[in-house]
Structure 1
Amino acid sequence: MRMTAPTPDSSPAAAPARRRVLSGLGAGTALGAVAVATAGSATAAPTAAPAATPAATPAAAPFAAATTTTDPVLHLLRRATFGPTPALVAEVRKTGTTAWLDAQLAPLTAVPDPAMDALLKRWTRLGWKTWQVRERLPDTDRWAVMMEVVESHLARALFSRRQLLETVVDFWTNHLVVPVPSSEVWDNAHLFQRDVVRRHALGRYSDMLNAAARHPAMLKVLDNADSTKRAPNENYGRELLELHTVGVGNYTETDVRMSARVLTGLSVDGESGLFSYKPQRRYVGPVKVLGWSDPNPVAEDGVAVATRYLTYLAQHPATANRIARKLAVRYVSDTPPATLVTKLAQVYLANGTAIAPVLRALFLSPEFAASVGQKVRTPYEDALASCRVLGLTPEPAPTSGDSNLRHLFWALGSFGQAPMGWPAPNGYPDVAAAWNGASSTLNRWNFHLGLAGNWTLKAMTRPAVTTFVPSPLPSTYAALVDALAARLFVTLTAAQREAICRFVDHAPSDPLRAGSAAVTWRLPSIVALLLDSPNFAIR
């Protein structure tokens, strides 16, 4: 069962004028073309997520005309966080990028996060065990804990100081896919996130893979809970090879059948909802997958055999290469250099599948340093980065389930990328070509304007955009636009600067006076245009 996300709350756009200025902001780019075609409408129907990952295109090719800074601090924070903020940029400039990175790779000990820890106490049901969820929630409220999962996921991404951890958690959430909300995991999705994804996000992938195979959420979503020796269900056995480990081209259909047999017996207890090993369902006899084999002589040893198999897959060179490449696609480029992928795979194997050393090697690599401008934010990342750079703060605890975080969840669904919302086991695509749809883009623009004008997510307080205007007042319109762009970490071309000035009916060199429309009622629109630009879209 899945729900349809309603249209997010957003304010009307000043359509004709925005159409002209957005064309100037993105002339010659895919985003600029979309602006010309679609900015005349204030709203658009929610767009569905892409049906499949498209073929990779050269990095951020659709945004080739976008400009971004080569500042190493901003480059790191665009990739290793959900968006830089003025406070975070100042912190990293003070500590240095390597020291900040090392702390982020040991977040539980090196990055105190008391404000986030206090905020998480709001979602009390995340600590419930499966039987408590089943006993305490009526049938009419079965989605309650799952909504706490996505709300807390968004809260951490927005407000946690452990930003790198949150991006990695999101990466693994999109790798070991358990769709939320979903009727199959209403009583255990929160425990999958806690015990599988978060617990092992920066640890060893072999541990995460084994934990997933023992979790009711994965076993139910991929149908292994119903697999038996007489009728092995191949769904989990196949996805384990195709998506979770070695990848397409590295296994045969015989491997898939054997993989399914190895996993028989790993099931779920119908009464408790907990993981249950059922030896009566276990296939017994020799099994062989790729270069691994086991006599598998007795049903009672099925868990141990499956553990050896999963550990073998996690340590397979093809898995190392696949995980390395996926991490490089997430943090470096849509088409990462083969040299980098090879190097990261070697680090992965040399460290017993540990992820933190791989990420350290990635972020300190020359390939990463040279990748400025080669990634584009997904709709999800764009929304979070917009909230973060505008300084949104957590809302007071809502008295009902109608929280701003839930509004944000539904809004992201209208962009085609609600967190944990991808229904297929292959996860959301992470290449620029997948997210160039006109409807999704227009929804983002309306979202930016709603944020800047304080019409959207109003319970999350934020500084008034008037505080972004320097004092003393800039002398010209160009100087004002430059100051706002710097505050939002956007690097403009001369043509883009002029386009925004023309939007408020002035030349860049015109003198700016106190009380002018550009620093009063039209200021939110200028801020929104800067967030609309291809430059802000660069990850």
Structure 2
Amino acid sequence: RAVLAAAGGVAAGGLTIGTAALLGGTGKGREPGGSPPEGEAAAAASEEAGTRAIADPVRRAGHLLRRAGFGGTPGDIAEFASLTPVEAADRLVDFEDMDNSGLEERIARANFNLTRLRGGDGRPGMASDMRAWWLTRMAYTARPLEERMTLIWHGLLTSELGKLGIPRTKFMLIQNELFRRMALPRYDDLLKAISRDPAMMVYLDTIQSSAAHPNENYARELMELFSMGVGNYTEQDVREAARAFTGWRLTAPPRVQLPEGASEAERRAAQDAAAEAYEPEFIIQPRLQDRGMKTFLGKTGPFGGDDIIDIIMSHDAPSRFIPVRLFREFVHANPGPETVAWLAEVWNGSGHDIREVVRAILKSAEFNSEAAYRAKIKSPVEFVVGAVRGLELETDFRATLRFWGPMGQTLFQPPNVAGWPGGPAWLASATLFARLNFLDAFLFPRGRPLRVEALLAREDAAGMVDEALRRLVDGVMSEGARAALVAHAESIRDPVERAATVAYLVLASPEYQLA
């Protein structure tokens, strides 16, 4: 931490990421390692950066792989640096033909528990291993955009395991596989699929909604968070939409039959076995369904749930809501009016095809501009998975699971229906310290340095630092910060400890916190 202070990563009074680094970023009106402009010069530089393309193909490739995936290995960076922005975007978006057998073989070797609720025989419970399984997919996939979109949908079309409860853990796995299967769908189809998804139906109470007692939770979030945004519908629209989803149910789970006098342990084991065997299927129960006339967004008819989605998707509001949400995921938080209008054109022209919207964003001048470079703060998932990919480390992520809560992003457990807030919330004082504690435990397990083979290939301290910078921050760091890292690395004689320490310091740097 003293070295971080010398490199400019620690402010007086506590360990914090430098404000200038987070708000300005590298490449936003200044060259890597330069001083940020001030006043009118800053405004002019910012405007220039908004239109200036990332000229360096290596930085451009790193930027693309961080935003459309979780970072890249040196091999990935070299491959994508050899492509034009258009070719690179197409390579990521059209991923279905990419061979992912290596990932599936790795998953099989790890023997993740995706079936038994409470584990046993030395194996973790299902919820824990589901998280490790998904992190492994993100870190070692040959289809990074597929996993990135799965994570985006998890944060947008949110459900959370805490409300579902342990017996329904499988529901979250079913939803995760739905998001992966429909990573780049026609959005209308995804909304209809998630409306029938078991986890969503439990999370937003569709399974409790009847003609006699319509539940408005799903209808409200369908419009507010999943498609239209606030201000584009009325409370009456919510009530009418809720009526259309009444009677939507799941098939009943198998009944648990126990002999008289069964112990509590036997009872729980039987209940767990029934929950593990349960394969929920969507059904509509006519006796609970409201089949009357409904007036919704100015249209009247005996609408059901799919009709409501069709009406929503024929409205103008989704064209200014979902594409903008995707732009903010991939580019930066503040698209201008012209960009919003352009996104709506792509949305409408493609028939709401997410693949084509994402393709257009990744090919756009705004995405490939200096204004977008390092303009977002990494989530904990990006922070950890990016380190594993960049340094080509081997892990099944099980040892990391205790750190995700303190870092602020436990998979399958977003804080509320709006998902994770993101942005500066990722780097509050507590969550930043949690990142450093994670690095300490991950790179120095039980107090002994991890062998970081990618850095051990470089024998001298300067070479080791430069290799870490190349792999993790596109080689971009100020000369003063680099010199501080090299000086500290030179003071460590043991090469294994030196490599782990260099990895720690670069991963803890302000530059690495930015995506």
- TM-score interval, smaller chain: 0.7 to 0.9
* Paired amino acid for 2:511: N
Alignment coverage as a number of residue pairs: 452
Alignment match, 1:256: 238
Q: How far apart, in 2, do the equivalents of 1:63 and 1:469 lie?
A: 30
* Paired amino acid for 1:469: R
Pair 1:310-2:301 in alignment = no
Pair 1:421-2:413 in alignment = yes
Aligned with 1:289 (options 293, 296, 313) = 296
Change (3 A) 1:97 1:449: farther
Change (3 A) 1:266 1:174: same
Alignment match, 2:493: 517
Q: How far apart, in 2, do the equivalents of 1:217 and 1:286 lie?
A: 29
TM-score by length of 1: 0.76
Pair 1:106-2:94 in alignment = yes
* Paired amino acid for 1:287: K
Secondary structure of the 1:366 match is coil
Alignment match, 1:51: none
Pair 1:536-2:512 in alignment = yes
Deviation at 1:467, TM superposition (A): 2.1
Secondary structure of the 1:293 match is strand
1:457-496 equivalences in 2 (<5 Å): 463-464=452-453, 466-469=455-458, 473=460, 477=462, 481-488=465-472, 489-496=474-481
Q: Deviations over 1:147-177 (max 9, x none)?
A: 4432221111111010011111100011111
* Paired amino acid for 2:323: A
Q: How far apart, in 2, do the equivalents of 1:224 and 1:311 lie?
A: 18
Alignment match, 2:197: 215
* Paired amino acid for 1:37: G
Deviates further, 179-188 or 247-256: 179-188
List runs of 5+ in structure 1 lacking aligned partners: 1-17, 40-59, 127-132, 297-304, 396-404, 505-511
Q: How far apart, in 1, do the equivalents of 2:448 and 2:294 lie?
A: 55
Deviation at 1:208, TM superposition (A): 0.9
Q: Deviations over 1:199-256 (max 9, x none)?
A: 2110111111101111221111101101111111111111111111111111111111
Secondary structure of the 1:64 match is helix
Alignment match, 2:272: none
Q: Deviations over 1:328-370 (max 9, x none)?
A: 1111002233322322222122212111100110011111112
Secondary structure of the 2:333 match is coil
Secondary structure of the 1:482 match is helix
Alignment match, 1:63: 22
The answer to whether the Cα contact below 8 Å between 2:118 and 2:126 also exists between their aligned partners in 1 is no
Alignment match, 1:92: 80
Deviation at 1:440, TM superposition (A): 1.1
Aligned with 2:150 (options 147, 153, 169) = 169
Q: Deviations over 1:489-523 (max 9, x none)?
A: 3411122123324545xxxxxxx7xx963856444
TM-score by length of 2: 0.79
The answer to whether the Cα contact below 8 Å between 1:77 and 1:84 also exists between their aligned partners in 2 is yes
Alignment match, 1:388: 389
Secondary structure of the 2:249 match is strand
Alignment match, 2:46: none
Deviation at 1:449, TM superposition (A): 3.6
Deviates further, 447-456 or 175-184: 447-456
Pair 1:500-2:491 in alignment = no
Secondary structure of the 1:369 match is coil
Deviation at 1:89, TM superposition (A): 0.8
Change (3 A) 1:124 1:36: closer
- CA RMSD of superposed structures (Å): 3.0
Pair 1:444-2:435 in alignment = yes
Q: How far apart, in 1, do the equivalents of 2:410 and 2:170 lie?
A: 20
The answer to whether the Cα contact below 8 Å between 2:113 and 2:124 also exists between their aligned partners in 1 is no
Deviates further, 219-228 or 416-425: 416-425
Deviation at 1:275, TM superposition (A): 1.7
Change (3 A) 1:293 1:198: farther
Deviation at 1:394, TM superposition (A): 4.5
* Paired amino acid for 1:106: D
Change (3 A) 1:201 1:106: same
Alignment match, 1:203: 185
Alignment match, 1:178: 159
Q: How far apart, in 1, do the equivalents of 2:120 and 2:164 lie?
A: 12
Deviation at 1:63, TM superposition (A): 1.0
Q: How far apart, in 2, do the equivalents of 1:150 and 1:316 lie?
A: 37
Change (3 A) 1:256 1:120: same
Deviation at 1:84, TM superposition (A): 2.0
Deviation at 1:67, TM superposition (A): 3.0
Change (3 A) 1:336 1:278: same
List runs of 5+ in structure 2 lacking aligned partners: 33-53, 255-279
Deviation at 1:87, TM superposition (A): 1.8
Alignment match, 1:339: 338
Change (3 A) 1:284 1:215: same
* Paired amino acid for 1:324: P
Q: Deviations over 1:247-286 (max 9, x none)?
A: 1111111111111111111122333543221111111322
* Paired amino acid for 1:485: L
Q: How far apart, in 1, do the equivalents of 2:132 and 2:448 lie?
A: 13
Change (3 A) 1:337 1:518: farther
Alignment match, 1:379: 380
The answer to whether the Cα contact below 8 Å between 2:60 and 2:81 also exists between their aligned partners in 1 is no
Q: Deviations over 1:27-50 (max 9, x none)?
A: 6xxxx43x85148xxxxxxxxxxx
